[in-house]
Amino acid sequence: MADNRPVIEMQSVNKWYGPNFQVLKDCSLTVKRGEVVVICGPSGSGKSTLIKCVNGLEPVDNGSITVTGTDVTDRKTRLPALRAKVGMVFQHFELFPHMTITENLCIGQEKVLGRSPAEAKAKAAALLERVGLSAHAGKYPGQLSGGQQQRVAIARALAMDPQAMLFDEPTSALDPEMINEVLDVMVALAQEGMTMMVVTHEMGFARKVADRIVFMDQGEIVEIGDRGTFFDNPKTERARSFLSKIL
Long-range Cβ contacts of 96-101 (<8 Å, 24+ apart)? 96/141, 97/140, 97/141, 97/142, 98/140, 99/140, 99/141, 100/137, 100/138, 100/139, 100/140, 101/128, 101/133, 101/136, 101/137, 101/138, 101/139, 101/140, 101/141, 101/144, 101/152
Interface size with Mg ion, residues (CB under 5 A): 1
- Inter-CA distances, 96 with 81, 102, 201, Å: 19, 11, 27
In whole angstroms, the minimum distance from the beta carbon of 56 to ligand ADP comes to 15
Query: Is residue 80 close enough to count as binding ligand ADP by CB under 6 A?
Result: no
Q: How far apart are CA 234 and CA 3, in angstroms?
A: 26
Query: Is residue 56 close enough to count as binding ligand ADP by CB under 6 A?
Result: no
Among ligand ADP, Mg ion, none, what binds residue 149 when CB lies within 5 to 8 Å by partner kind? none
Among Mg ion, ligand ADP, none, what binds residue 20 when CB lies within 5 to 8 Å by partner kind? none
Binding segment for ligand ADP among 36-44, 65-73, 172-180, 231-239 (CB under 6 A)?
36-44
Query: Is residue 55 close enough to count as binding ligand ADP by CB under 6 A?
Result: no
Q: How far apart are CA 73 and CA 180, in angstroms?
A: 36
Residue choice 45, 102, 104, 148 for contact with ligand ADP (CB under 6 A): 45
Query: Is residue 171 close enough to count as binding Mg ion by CB under 5 A?
Result: no
The residue number with the shortest CB distance to Mg ion is 48
Query: Is residue 23 close enough to count as binding ligand ADP by CB under 6 A?
Result: yes
Query: Is residue 48 close enough to count as binding Mg ion by CB under 5 A?
Result: yes
Site residues, ligand ADP (CB under 6 A): 17, 23, 41, 43-49
